[in-house]
Amino acid sequence: MPDPRRPQFSAEQLAEVRRLQGLYPDKQGALLPVLHLAQDTFGYISLEIEEYVGTLFDLSPAHVHEVVTFYTMFFQKPRGRHIVAVCHNLSCHLLGAKGIIEHLKERLGVEPGETTADGNVTFLTVECLCACEQAPMMQVDDRYEGLLTADKVDGILRGLA
């Protein structure tokens, strides 16, 4: 993965940045999409990336920082190879999210907000992911996993090893 401390998009990516900027009446509209691109490329959004992205938009690093820190999906420090994000909102809570969270704490050996020592999994608790019909549920990287039980969680974790 390219170095997040010395960020530089490839020529192809820079063309994509310009294409995204061209979709909006004001190019600043593309800031979130470009930050997604940056995070996909470098793994997280370092201060250096904020400054670099700012130069692509003629925006101050402070503005980019303000945006990055506002949204939960932008990570400001390195994260695990996988994200396991358990919903702890009401419907999932009613159907046992607490037990799932405790089970994950034990299996992963970390608290919510932390990454396992081997760098494999970042464990999070999150607000409603809007899949309450599958409660209790969690997001694992790009996909939703629902109707969770301790056994089902174990199977999912094995798939991430």
Partner 1 sequence: MAEKILSKNFDVRDAHTLRVYRETGGYRGWDKARGMEPAAITEEVKKSNLRGLGGAGFPTGVKWSFIPKGSTAPKYLVVNADEGEPGTFKDRYILERDPHALIEGMLIAARAIDSRLGFVYIRGEYVQPWRVFSAAVKEAYDAGLLGKEVPGGGFEVVIHRGAGAYICGEETGLISSLEGKKGWPKLKPPFPAIKGAFGQPTTVNNVETLACLPHILTRGGEWFAGLGTKSEGGTRLYSVSGHVARPGVVEAPVSVTLRQLIYEHCGGIPGGRALKAVVPGGSSAAILTPDEIDIPMDVDGPKSKGSMIGSAGVIVMDDTVSIPDALMVVARFYAHESCGQCTPCRESTGWIYKMSHRLVEGKGRKEDLDTILDVAKRGAGTTICAFYDGAVGPYISYIEKFREEFEALIRSGAHA
Residues that bind partner 1 (CB under 8 A): 23-26, 28-33, 35-36, 57, 59, 63, 66-67, 70-74, 88-91, 93-95, 126-133, 135, 139, 142-144
Give the residue from 109, 110, 103, 105 showing the smallest Cα distance to 149. 103
Task: Give pairs for 96-104: CB < 8 Å, separation 24+.
Answer: 96/136, 96/148, 97/135, 97/136, 99/150, 100/136, 100/138, 100/148, 100/150, 100/153, 101/125, 103/150, 103/153, 104/153
Copy the structure tokens of residue 18: 């310009």
**Shortest Cβ 82–partner 1 spacing (Å):** 14
Given the complex with partner 1, which of 120 and 144 has the nearer CB atom? 144
Query: Minimum distance from CB of 9 to partner 1 (Å)?
Result: 17
Tell me the closest approach of the beta carbon of residue 121 to partner 1, in angstroms: 17
CB of 117 to partner 1, least distance (A): 26
Rank residues 6 and 23 by Cβ distance to partner 1 and give the closer one.
Answer: 23
Specify the residue, 78 or 96, whose C-beta has the smaller distance to partner 1. Answer: 96
Q: Are 35 and 67 in contact (CB under 8 A)?
A: yes
What minimum distance in Å lies between the beta carbon of 128 and partner 1?
4
Q: What's the maximum distance between 2 C-alpha atoms anywhere in the chain?
A: 50
Strands 121-126, 138-140: pairing is: unpaired
Q: Which is nearer to partner 1, 5 or 19 (CB)?
A: 19
Residue nearer to partner 1 on the CB measure, 69 or 154: 69
Are 118 and 81 spatial neighbours (Cβ–Cβ below 8 Å)?
no
